Structure 1
Amino acid sequence: MNAEAGRARRQPARQGALVSAARVDPGFSHRSWSIAHAGRSDCLCFFVADGVASLVPEDGESMELMGPAVVWIPLPTNGVVRMDAGSSGFTFSAAEEFVWRTVGDSVLAADMRAMMDQLVIATAEDVLPVIDELWTSFAGIVREVRVQQPGANAITGFHLGVILLHLWRSRGAAVAHGGGATTIQRFRQLVELHFREGLGVEDYARSLNVTRSHLHEACMRLAGQTPLAIIHARLIEEARTRLEQTDMSVEQVGYSLGFRDPAYFNRFFRRLTGQTPGAFRKSAFASAPAPGSASFAAWP
């Protein structure tokens, strides 16, 4: 089935140029939505109530989202959101001006606006305690957009505000509760999306809306590694995979992972593995089983 055929067939209702919303019912095939930034002036939000969805950034690897989850996608993002067959939930887009008007000038406005400029993922840990409220608000937006009764903008804005506040709470949960589990979970998600971009620990902390020391403490307590070690481990994992499974030269592997100096990539790889990339590739090829040598134990 091609991509067009896999897209959601229910066209979202429109509220002028301000809001578009739709309920996603379980189907027999996957549905996908393009989140290309070109010409887009709205923010996107997906509520995966049940099932599995994937966020596939244009310049990153797919990230799987297990329902229930809420994903807020800001304007600078490009890529595709895909919901697997059988999944259900809601989706809406809102013009930036409508979102800012909803947030208004409350005491939380500055924090919430900073949050809305970033990719936000509220996982089951955050969503389950408030899933009834979220369902009511997403369903309320769909209803108001379709019915278009007097006051629809105001009610839609109210429900949008509830959703944004719950997303804001989910972002601050790790700091407020001090446990760090949410922080490190989101940190690993961001690393998965951006590990090839050369971002520093400070960049990740800023995206997570936590201090560098809080991120360091959470990683050490729950993973036994520093944030930098986690970033480096992901780079090494990917480098090994590409050295083993592709015909790319060592220099090309380094470039594909964000290293602009082949010599530095060699030193980096050797420092963390004890081998140069070339030596690792040779040893990997030497230890690979010969074609047709699989034992009966490998049979299905």
Structure 2
Amino acid sequence: MRTEPGTVRQFALYGTQDAAPAWADLVHLERVPERSSLFGWEIDLHFHEGLIQVLYLTAGGEGGSALMDGKRWPLHPPCLVVVPARTVHGFSFHPGTDGPVITAAQKPLESLAALAAPELLEHIRRPLVLPVDPAGRHAQALQPLFEVIGQEAHVDGGVRAAGMPLLVALFVQIARLAQTSAALPEAVPSRKAVQIERFRALLDTNVRQHTPVHAYADVLGISVGQLSRLCREVLGVSAQEVVNARVVHEAQRELVYSSLSVKQIAAELGFEDEAYFGRFFKKHTGQRPTDFRREARAQLAGA
């Protein structure tokens, strides 16, 4: 994990240039060596806006580690790794590490889990590494789920029809495993990591109030300059950019999935008027809200 502070990058899948739209019902599956072996088994610090990853490491030697939001976990296969959206993370894999990696849109997964099994949300939203007993009943339940998710991910039209419910079923198994198995030991989070986690939690709570950066800094007990330096060091962008990205993400979700008008969405997100919201959205996405909504819905309808 060689990335220097201030150079944390965003990817849809590590090493690709284009970030997949975070509103899409993406469910992608590949195996660890397909990507990690190309980078010497070292995955530098990066993050996925709106995308959660679940790794099931089934083979590989000792000595690997995962770094997620400033916390480091050792990797001892077989084990499960959950990397929620916007978690800055990197991996040092032991050469030969293998197992499936699922990348999926987190918000649709959360929405379905909230209806079917709200207790799963805590497992979807927090980074975690869990050991798996290969002879245990949970291991026997996990492998078939990953296999069928992989099959659906490669069937045209099947991803949105079955991918998300299957992921909910997978997190049911993860929750059961978490109840019966202690998480692998981790380093004590740094003060900076704790502050970033608090900032993100505040942002999730207040994203619809158009809360200014100075208000977040006040709650955190630091100056705006300190908060921005903290974000640049840990996340690679300024505090204002973090806030803007979160607002854009929420706006995209509303435009695609809700029946609210653009004017109503602007009001829901705390904008003074529709025109101001439209300028903000176009500045950060290159599209007007109406154009984005039309193209995104056409893309989903034709997928």
What is the TM-score with the length of structure 1 in the denominator? Answer: 0.48
- Report the structure number with the largest CA radius of gyration: 1
Q: Comparing both chains, which one has the higher relative contact order based on Cα–Cα distances under 8 Å and sequence gaps of 6 or more?
A: 2
TM-score by length of 2: 0.48
